């Protein structure tokens, strides 16, 4: 009987552990503005927010917008790690890309050592891309789970 009780307890604990997961998002923003004028960073929020506090349902009958919660959404406690820009006066800097890779790898390794597992990576580029385009950012979101 004791073995059955112990097995049942371990099963319940294992089941709870499998369903209780926590996610964390780290974002790297790398400037593709020439001449070193942009800013590149890794941003890591140190606060949690409840999305439901900032969510409203929109219907065809009610097209009003909820603007009063903008200040409440802002996060004031975050960690910001400097990165190098992709460009300088001489053009694209491959050393800067390698340096950013090393810093980002260090951040990922620190999170993994803290018990986080890298689950997903999503990236994109924002740029005008016109004939005279010299601005934009390369953004990557690293999604971890625990």
What is the model's pLDDT at position 99? 96
pTM: predicted TM-score of the whole model, two decimal places: 0.74
Question: Where does the pLDDT of residue 11 fall: very low under 50, low under 70, confident under 90, or very high at 90 and above?
Answer: low
What number is the average pLDDT over the span 34-41?
A: 79
| Residue ranges per structural domain of the chain | 20-48+70-145
pLDDT at residue 19 greater than cutoff 70: no
Question: Where does the pLDDT of residue 126 fall: very low under 50, low under 70, confident under 90, or very high at 90 and above?
Answer: confident
- What is the rounded CA–CA span in Å between residue 74 and residue 43? 14
**What average pLDDT does the structure give for the chain?**
83
Alpha carbon 45 to its chain centroid, in Å, reads: 8
Q: What is the pLDDT of residues 58-114, one digit of tens each?
A: 777 655 555 556 778 888 889 999 999 888 777 788 999 999 999 999 999 999 999
- What is the rounded CA–CA span in Å between residue 27 and residue 138? 10
- What is the rounded CA–CA span in Å between residue 29 and residue 41? 5
């Amino acid at each position: 009987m004791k073995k059955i009780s112990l097995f049942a307890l371990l099963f319940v604990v294992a089941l709870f552990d499998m369903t209780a997961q926590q996610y964390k998002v780290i974002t790297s923003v790398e400037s593709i503005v020439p001449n070193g004028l942009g800013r590149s960073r890794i941003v890591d929020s140190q606060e949690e927010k409840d999305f439901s506090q900032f969510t409203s349902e929109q219907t065809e009958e009610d097209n009003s917008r909820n603007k009063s919660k903008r200040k409440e959404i802002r996060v004031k406690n975050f960690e910001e790690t400097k990165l190098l820009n992709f460009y300088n006066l001489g053009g694209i800097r491959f050393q800067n890309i390698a340096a950013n890779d090393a810093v980002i790898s260090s951040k990922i390794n620190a999170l993994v050592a803290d018990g986080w597992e890298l689950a997903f990576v999503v990236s994109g580029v924002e740029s005008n891309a016109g004939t005279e385009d010299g601005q934009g950012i390369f953004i990557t979101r690293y999604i971890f789970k625990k």
